Structure formats: structure tokens, C-alpha cells
Amino acid sequence: MKAALLILALPACIACAGLPRITPAAENEKSDIVKRCAAPFLGGPRRLVHSIDGTLPGGATATMIGVTVAFPDSGRLRCTIMSIEGLVLLDADYDGKLVIKRGIGPLADPALVMGMIRDIRLMLFRPAGACAEAGTLDGGNGMCRYRTDEGTVDVMTRSGGGVEVVSYDSSLKPSRTVLLSDFRADGLPRRIELAASGMFSYSLRLDLIEAEQVR
Amino acid sequence: MKINKLLISFLLSASLIAWGDSWEQIKKTAKDINSVQAEFVQKKHMEILSRPLVSKGKLYFQTPTSLRWEYTSPVHSILLMHGGTVTRYIKKNGAVTKDSSARLQSMQIVLQEIIMWMKGNFDANPGFTPQLKPGRIIVLTPKEKSMAEIIQRIELKLSKEPGVIQSVMIYESRKSYTVIDFGRVTVNAKLPDSLFRDL
């Protein structure tokens, strides 16, 4: 019976091994850590223009320009991706439901575009739900762990100033790692780097060209 | 003296009227063009933007088929077409990367089209119906529905200066279009080959 329980518990133990251990913060420090974890994400509706350098599965590289109008309160996103020459390759709207207004080639595929929307949400929006754990890692960096219907997301505030966001798949393996860095005075990161792991790994680097508040 | 000035003005006006008046005149004038160098300002208009997204750059063209299309801002990108090959480089933070996306194949088609325009062959592409309108305006409309879904039409405005394109407007939809204005145009200057090969 004991052996059977151990076997049953084994997958859960292996899964837990994927998450870094958080040393819980004292109650008076917790709110400060949670505030720092939330700081790099959008605090209100914004229009953002980025140059996007992508390294795609197979090693091909491409540079594009992305325009995103993001509403963090509702989770709504309108995004456009165009070539440097200005040809619009994707114009999509997500408001609980994805609408592709224009999609050329692979960017006409709703599954692919939905994956991009998830990536954009991870880069721009504070993880959904309340912070389940907040504390510090062994190295002293602050860490917040969010558990949502879509999975677990860690936000780590680095002592050097950058913020790292890691989302985990259902087996608690890191599926996306985002690094937000080089912050402007208004708190927006000038640079966002995303690395997607798995069978179709790719990476994106976004450099902020311009940003404005949306009314 | 006054008569001479009037005569020169008249002849100049006549040549300006003639340029852009017919396909034959356009081709005839363009035959004398060996090279073009210009600066350009590209303004992208889209519903999602509150104001156009402005890009700036330089263009170099050398007959028969060499082209350098360089954006200097907001992204420094250099597209080189020389000897039938197209290469794009991105310069960022002091580093140079080569763009290897499949989009370069479609860019090759676009660049060949630009080269055709530089040579005055606006009616050479079988995929577009060309129309020459008063005011030295050329309208290219796609024949195929599949192409029209990507680009509705292209409008080129020829400059008063013979052989020179003043602006290009590319309409993707009613609310999404790109305007490229050319300025500081120099025609038939000697351009080094390296301009089309090297960064």
C-alpha cells in the first residue's frame, strides 16, 4: 500500500521539482514584493510600437514591426505585425475571442495567432489572478508565483533591475521565459526578450520604438 | 535676352508636359537614366495608429538591376539587390544580422517591380492593370483577386523632373496605406558597385 502511494506521488514530486523554491516573505514585506512584481506590466491602456527580431524554429531570422493596443483591465488586445517596408502581415483583435482581420500566409492560422496573443499577454499583462506565493529565492531576488486556470507563472525581480517571467506547462516545465529590461522613467521596458522552449522553440526580441496612453 | 529666357522656359515646360504624358514618353525618358539616388520618408497609415508611423531611408539604383533600399530609422535595415540575389541586413546596437526569412523571396519580386519602375516600365507587370492619369499619376490595379486582397492598388506620382518618381502610395485597404515620398533626388551620378554589395 505504501509502495503504491509512493508511485502515485512520484509524478507530483517530479513536477514540483521544476518550480524554484520560494522562501516566503514576512507579511510586512510581501506587499512590497508583490508591488515590485507587478510594476513592469502595463498599468493602463497603451499603444506600443516595437521592432521585433525573431529567431524561428530552424534558425531563420526575421525583423518586423509590431503595433499593439493593449487594455490590461479587460485583457483586450489589438495587434498588427508588418514588414519594415510597411506591408501588414497580421491584423488581429482579441477580446475573449480572436478575430483575424487580415492574415497573410502562416499568420492566417488562428492557432498560430492565438499562440502569439498568449505570448503578448505574457509580456505585457500582469499574470491573471492573485499572487499565490511571494518571497525570495536563494540568491535574494524577489519572486511572485501566480496560479491561474492557464497554469503557473513566476515573476522574479532581479537585483540588477530586470524582471524575469516564466510560465510553466501542465507538467511544470518552463514553456516561456520573458526578460523585461532597460526601463523608461514611466516604467515601460525598452526591451523585452521571449524564449519559447519545446519542440518548436523560438525567440523574440522586442525593442520599444514608441508608446502612448490610450484614452 | 528676354526672348531667349522665354524660349528656354517654353522648351522646358514642353519637356515637362511631354514627360508622363504617354507610356512611350515615359519609357523614352527613362532610357536616359543610368542611376538614381534619393532619400525617402515612408508614412504608414493604419486604423490602429493615432498618427502615421514614419520611417526614413535612402535609395540607390543602378542599371541594369542593382538596388540598395536602406531604412535608417526607426529600424536600420539594408536591402541589397545585386546580380540577381537579394540580401537584407539589420543593424541594431552595433551588431549586424542577416535576415533569412522566407519573406525575402517576396521582397525580390517587389524589388524587381521597383527596378521596372525605375526603367519606366510601369506597364510591364502582367499581374497589374496600369492606368496613366492626368497629373503624371500612374495607377496599378491587381488583376487577380488573391493579390487585390493584399494590395488594392498602387499609385505612383511622377516628378516634374523627367525620369524621377515623386511618391508611391500603396493601398492595402481603405484604412491601411503606405505613402513613400522621395526627395533630394540625384540622377545619373556615378555610384560605386560596392554600394550594392557591401554594408
In order of their start, the domains of chain A are 20-213 (2.50.20)
Residues of A within an 8 Å Cβ radius of B: 47, 49, 51, 53, 56, 59-63, 65, 67, 69, 78, 80, 82-88, 91, 102, 104, 207, 209, 212
pLDDT of A12: 43
pLDDT of A132: 93
**Comparison of pLDDT for B89 and A149, the residue scoring more:** B89
**Residue B59: pLDDT band with limits 50, 70, 90:** very high
B14 pLDDT above the threshold of 80 = no
pLDDT of B198: 86
ipTM confidence: 0.84
Nearest CB to B101: which of A61, A69, A91? A61
- What's the mean pLDDT when you consider all of chain B? 84
Contact across the interface for A65 and B97, Cβ inside 8 Å: no
Q: Report yes or no on whether pTM surpasses 0.90.
A: no
Segments forming the whole domain that contains residue B52: 2-196
What is the domain-level CATH number for residue B182?
2.50.20.10
Contacts of B85 (CB under 8 A, 6+ apart): none
SS3 at position A4? helix
Domain count, chain B: 1
Query: Would you call B38 an interface residue with chain A, using a CB distance cutoff of 8 Å?
Result: no
Contact across the interface for B48 and A80, Cβ inside 8 Å: yes
State mean pLDDT over A139-148. Answer: 92
pLDDT of A85: 86
Contact across the interface for B172 and A67, Cβ inside 8 Å: no
Chain B 79-98, residues with CB within 8 Å of chain A CB atoms = 90, 92, 97-98
**Residue B98: pLDDT band with limits 50, 70, 90:** confident
